[in-house]
Amino acid sequence: LAFSKPDRFHIVAGNSPTLHPEGSLSFLGTGEEYAQRDPVSLAADGGGVNGLQIWLDIGASDPWMPRLVELDQALNTRGVQHTWMLGDGGHDGGYWQHNVPAYLRFYSAGFS
Domains of the chain: 6-111 (3.40.50.1820)
Computed over every residue of the chain, the mean pLDDT equals 91
Bridge partners, residue 14, by sequence:
56
Residue pair 60/89 in contact by the 8 Å Cβ criterion: yes
Reported as a single tens digit per residue, the pLDDT across 48-77 is 788 899 999 999 999 999 999 999 999 999
Closest CA to 87 of 16, 18, 10: 16
pLDDT of residue 86 exceeding 90, the answer is: yes
Query: Has residue 25 got a pLDDT over 90?
Result: no
Q: Which residues pair with 59 in a beta bridge?
A: 87
Q: Which is nearest to 7 in space by CA: 44, 51, 41, 38?
A: 51
13: pLDDT strictly greater than 80: yes
pLDDT of residue 77: 95
